[in-house]
Amino acid sequence: MDKSQYFYRTVVITRKNNQVALANIDNPQETTALDDWLGVVISLADGAHNIEELIGYLRGHYPNSPPQDLEKTIESVIDRLSDGKLIKFSEEPVSLPYYLSFPVEELDIDKAKKLMQEDGYTQH
């Protein structure tokens, strides 16, 4: 895995009750919950950080020392999200469009839908 690659989400998310889930922009109450690790990584997939930075950031959340298999776990999560086409990679930073930049509850839904239509974006 090339850890210098930037990673970015391709789906609309929600962040309610400390749970990250996929959201349907047409019906924001319709969500698909994600496993904790998947939710953490997809919520951090902002296009502004690369995989190496992600690993360092998550390592920093363990005050004593990170679990021995942390990097392997993160790589597995990234592979799963990529296989599901929920994240993509770039050699350069990527600016997310408005409708992917924020959790659905922070979006102006009408604006988001209009921009999605203009961009030709379709939800998975």
Q: Is 19's pLDDT higher than 80?
A: yes
Q: Is 5's pLDDT higher than 80?
A: yes
What global pTM score does this model have?
0.90
Mean pLDDT for 33-61 is: 94
Q: Is 61's pLDDT higher than 90?
A: no
pLDDT of residue 64: 86
Residue 107: partners with Cβ closer than 8 Å, 6 or more residues away? 12, 25, 98, 99
Q: Could you tell me the domains of the chain?
A: 6-119 (3.90.930)
Q: Is 124's pLDDT higher than 70?
A: no
Question: Do residues 49 and 3 make contact, with C-beta atoms less than 8 angstroms apart?
Answer: no
Give the mean pLDDT of the chain: 93
Which tokens hold the place of 10? 């391709």
Measured CA distances, 21 to 33, 34, 46, 60, 106 (Å): 4, 5, 15, 24, 14
pLDDT of residue 123: 67
Mean pLDDT for 73-83 is: 96
pLDDT of residue 21: 95
Measured CA distances, 37 to 27, 70, 121 (Å): 25, 11, 26
| 110 or 16: which leads in pLDDT | 110
